[in-house]
Amino acid sequence: MKDPFNDRLEQLSVGSLAILGVPFDEYSSFLRGCAAAPDLIVDAYHSASTNYFTELGYDLEDDPAICFMGDIPIETYFDIEKGIQSVLDRGARTLSLGGDHSIAYPILKAQAKRYKDLTILQLDAHGDLYENFEENPYSHASPFARIMEEGLAKRLIQVGNRTLSKHQREQAVRFGVEIIEMKDWERGQALQLSGPLYLSLDLDVLDPGFAPGLSHYEPGGMSPRDVISIIHQIDVPIIGADIVEYNPTRDINGMTAMIAARFLKEIVGKILS
């Protein structure tokens, strides 16, 4: 018997947008729990407390391009790459729900085979540029070091960072990372983006006062409105995205799940419109 992911894989076609779960948090450095996030974000997306319209007026309900795939079957870390590749091979795009941020590396390994000269827009409290965090080169604190050293992206733009160590600053210089730290970011600030664009949204870019369902509380972050405004200003083709680091074990009344679901809707609307 086939698993749900592979059953739904056959439904994809060129132009489809596959929303898929990546329930992996084995490389989290502090707390576990993010592996349980994908289903809860999807439940919040479908919550009867709201509707399927994006703020820009796009109606997502019953859109034939959207396919909820369920979870990628994962036995080992690089099964993530295989799952993403199987979707891309159908001519579809991916929007992945993590999981910790380590999933970005295998996802981008697959994306880079299809799309050349990628730009990554990373919204995050952290740089995730450590060479080998706690002796784990695949830690959720290291994916963008792997991505950049392998040349999987032409540009990496980080916005919202407020935890840069000396080592990460050195890594940023080494890889030519373009960083707008949170202390320097201004509401409404225009981002100079290029396509094709991959959006990697770590929910801890938010101030924990807005989003308690995070493993790493980093005060001084963005509001949900700030993040939505950044999504809305994207003016180049988005070829894929991820939303990561929601930890439901720390959430209150599903607040963070609802925020993640709103971000999901706005990103889906941007991709499809």
137-183 pLDDT, tens digit per residue, is 999 999 999 999 999 999 999 999 999 999 999 999 999 999 999 99
User: What local confidence, expressed as pLDDT, does residue 139 receive?
Assistant: 97
Would the pLDDT of 1 be above 70? no
User: What local confidence, expressed as pLDDT, does residue 4 receive?
Assistant: 86
Q: What is the mean pLDDT of residues 101-128?
A: 98
Sheet with strand 178-181: strands edge to edge: 66-71, 17-22, 93-98, 238-244, 197-202, 119-123, 155-161, 178-181
User: What local confidence, expressed as pLDDT, does residue 188 receive?
Assistant: 85
The least confident of 7-11, 94-98, 172-176 is 7-11
Calculate what percentage of the chain has a pLDDT beyond 90. Answer: 95
Question: Which of the four pLDDT bands, split at 50, 70 and 90, describes residue 2?
Answer: low
How far apart CA 103 and CA 241 sit, in angstroms, is 11
What is the pLDDT of the chain when averaged over all its residues? 96
Domain that holds residue 29: 4-272
Would the pLDDT of 191 be above 70? yes
Q: Residue 70 in contact with residue 5, Cβ under 8 Å?
A: yes
Q: What is the CATH number of the domain that holds 196?
A: 3.40.800.10
User: How many domains does one find in the chain?
Assistant: 1
Judge if pTM exceeds 0.95: yes
How far apart CA 249 and CA 36 sit, in angstroms, is 9
What tokens appear for 173 in the block? 């210089």
Question: CA geometry: angle at 174 spanning 196 and 112, to 5°?
Answer: 25
User: What local confidence, expressed as pLDDT, does residue 273 receive?
Assistant: 87
